[in-house]
Amino acid sequence: KFVMGDFKAIGKAFIDFYYNKFDTGPRECVAALFEPVNGMLCFNNSDFAKGAQEIADKLRSLTFQTITHTVSTMDIQPTYDNCILIVVTGSLKVNEKIKFN
């Protein structure tokens, strides 16, 4: 069981790690954070990539050179079975151009 507050520290550490790896690369490293068979990722309204290998392939195929994520809000909640639900909002800047919210 989570000790009160631990889930927030764990969630914050996950968010920091995920976006740091995504931004500084190699971005396909974040695929290891997804469930190997059923994990899913949708990027920029594209079709879902399912499973860690397909997610890694999708991340490798992204054509931009640089990306910078800025986290505006994060909502971290404990769920059943010692899981954590994380919702993040923010913006991203691709190839040093205008940021997207």
pLDDT confidence bin for 13, thresholds 50/70/90: very high
Inform me whether the pLDDT recorded for 19 exceeds 90: yes
Counting DSSP H helices and E strands in the chain, the numbers are 2, 5
C-alpha to C-alpha distance for 88 and 90, rounded to whole angstroms = 7
From first CA to last CA, the distance across the chain in angstroms is: 35
- What residues are paired with 29 via a beta bridge? none
C-alpha to C-alpha distance for 50 and 48, rounded to whole angstroms = 6
> In the prediction, which pLDDT does 63 show?
84
Topology at the third CATH level for domain 6-100: Nuclear Transport Factor 2; Chain: A, (3.10.450)
At 49-81, the pLDDT tens digits run 999 999 999 888 888 888 899 999 999 999 887
Residue spans of the domains in the chain: they are 6-100
